[in-house]
């Protein structure tokens, strides 16, 4: 049996953040080593304790925590450990930061410092998803080599149906397994 694959699940501030719990549970059951990072705003939607319980590991939310792993700053150590990093859900804000190289929180800092596979799963209101800036930012991160798992049409936070609904967790899980083969 080979090395256990390390997956970092990054959670951004979206109403669909709760769906990342299912992804963490599924990946853990499939014997991936799962580490969860959250943007500071994401904790307004779901508490780190939930992810910690599902992943059996501490959850990190603070870029500037006085934390080192093996003598390296937290964001560098995490970036080097990962076999794959997935952002689920990825907000327009996080996507814009990644497209511009802004790393002012732990999630974006780890991704910008990583030399591994990056998967981004957008989830947002349809107006936000269809905004020209979001389209340009998605194209830019694709050019960086990031894999984007497109959202589906579904019920959005405002109650209407439109594009921007987080892709199904089963699809995201399958894409992760495929990427790590």
pLDDT digit string, tens, across residues 88-102:
999 999 999 999 999
Q: pLDDT tens digits for 24-35? A: 999 999 999 999
Any domain includes 66: yes
Residue 1 pLDDT more than 60? Answer: no
Residue 2: pLDDT above 80? Answer: no
Is residue 105 a part of any domain in this protein? yes
d(C-alpha 8, C-alpha 71), whole Å: 20
Residue 45 predicted with pLDDT over 90: yes
Encode pLDDT of 113-165 as tens digits: 999 999 999 999 999 999 999 999 999 999 999 999 999 999 999 999 999 99
Report if residue 148 sits inside a domain: yes
CATH number of the domain where residue 100 is located: 3.40.50.1950
pLDDT band at 66 (very low <50, low <70, confident <90, very high): low
Asked whether residue 1 is assigned to any structural domain, the reply reads no
DSSP 57-98: S--B--TTSS-EETTEEHHHHHHHH-SEEEEEEEPHHHHHHH
**Non-local CB neighbours of 167 within 8 Å, separated by 6+ positions:** 121, 149, 150, 151, 152
- 119 forms bridges with which residues in the sheet? 86, 147
Q: What is the DSSP letter of 116?
A: S
19, containing H or E segment: helix 19-29
Q: What range does the domain containing 24 cover?
A: 6-179
- The full length of the chain comes to 181
For 9, 40, 77, 98, 123, the CA distances from 95, given in Å and listed in that order, are 15, 16, 22, 5, 10
Question: What does pTM read for this prediction?
Answer: 0.95
**Cα-trace Rg, the chain:** 15
As for how many domains the chain has, the answer is 1
């Amino acid at each position: 049996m080979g090395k256990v694959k390390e997956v970092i699940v990054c959670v951004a501030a979206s109403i669909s953040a709760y769906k990342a719990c299912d992804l963490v549970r599924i990946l853990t059951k499939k014997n991936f080593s799962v580490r969860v990072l959250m943007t500071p705003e994401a904790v307004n939607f779901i508490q780190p304790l939930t992810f910690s319980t599902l992943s059996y590991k501490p959850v990190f939310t603070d870029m500037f925590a006085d934390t080192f792993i093996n003598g390296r700053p937290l964001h560098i150590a995490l970036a080097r450990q990962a076999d794959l990093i997935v952002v689920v859900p990825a907000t327009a804000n996080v996507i814009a930061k990644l497209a511009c190289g802004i790393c002012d929180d732990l999630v974006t800092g780890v991704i910008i410092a990583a030399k591994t596979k990056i998967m981004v799963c957008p989830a947002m209101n349809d107006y936000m998803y269809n905004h020209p800036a979001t389209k340009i930012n998605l194209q830019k991160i694709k050019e960086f080599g990031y894999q984007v798992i497109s959202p589906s049409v579904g019920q959005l936070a405002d109650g209407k149906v439109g594009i921007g609904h987080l892709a199904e967790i089963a699809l995201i899980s399958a894409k992760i397994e495929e990427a790590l083969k």
